[in-house]
Structure 1
Amino acid sequence: MSGAVITAALAFGFAALGLALVMNLWRLFRGPGLADRILALDTMVINVIGLIVLAGIAHGSGTAFEAALLLAMVGFVGTVAYAKFLLRGDIIE
């Protein structure tokens, strides 16, 4: 019983995050401003982290969680760099 529930929850999670990625891609290409595109990229990173975690749960792999952590750190630094560039026009002072 519990295996079927976990399988259904994983399927729902993959579908929801896939739909969220499609909507983020739409905002990335149609975003009215640069700030909207930066937020779409940041949200895409968060959704991909969720997909990596779900894949790790589905396959029973502990390495996926380390990959998700690394992507979270790189995504945070990238978002800060994009925002700083948007505000100041220069990343390195």
Structure 2
Amino acid sequence: MNYVWIAAAVMLSVAAFATMLRMLLGPSTLDRLVALDTLVAVAMCAIGTWAAYSRDTTVTYSLTALALITFIGSVSVARFRVPDVADPADRAER
């Protein structure tokens, strides 16, 4: 059974690493926002995996808090985001 937990930890670590690369290399702010949401989702999966491994349900309250904060943050950033403009001359026209 320990192999299952080790495999889950390795997959979550690889997913977090790949998401961090996308956050660093993302060409636009929306790519970075999606990567941040994905990283929080991976963290929530890790917390859920830890709760299942340790059989301790007290950490599951943090899942609700993370889900709520992430949803509110994503909606507010998507609502108030200024579009990316590559050319400074186009920025002056707006």
Give me the TM-score of the superposition, normalised by structure 2: 0.81
Equivalent position amino acid for 2:57 in 1: G
Match of 1:43 among 38, 44, 50: 38
Give me the TM-score of the superposition, normalised by structure 1: 0.81
Match of 1:58 in 2: 53
CA RMSD of aligned residues (A): 1.4
Q: CA–CA distance in 1 between the matches of 2:75 and 2:25?
A: 22
Equivalent position amino acid for 2:26 in 1: G
Q: CA–CA distance in 2 between the matches of 1:22 and 1:65?
A: 23
Q: Secondary structure at the match of 1:29?
A: helix
Q: Could you tell me how far 1:84 is from its partner in structure 2?
A: 1.2
Query: How many corresponding residue pairs?
Result: 83
Match of 2:77 in 1: 82
Q: Could you tell me how far 1:87 is from its partner in structure 2?
A: 5.5
| Greater Cα radius of gyration, structure 1 or 2 | 2
Q: Deviations over 1:28-69 (max 9, x none)?
A: 011011110000000001000000011111111101211112
Runs of 4+ deviating beyond 3 Å:
none
Match of 2:26 among 24, 31, 47: 31
Return 5+ residue gaps in structure 2 as ranges: 84-94
Q: Could you tell me how far 1:21 is from its partner in structure 2?
A: 0.6
Q: Could you tell me how far 1:77 is from its partner in structure 2?
A: 0.9
Match of 2:10 in 1: 15
Return 5+ residue gaps in structure 1 as ranges: 89-93
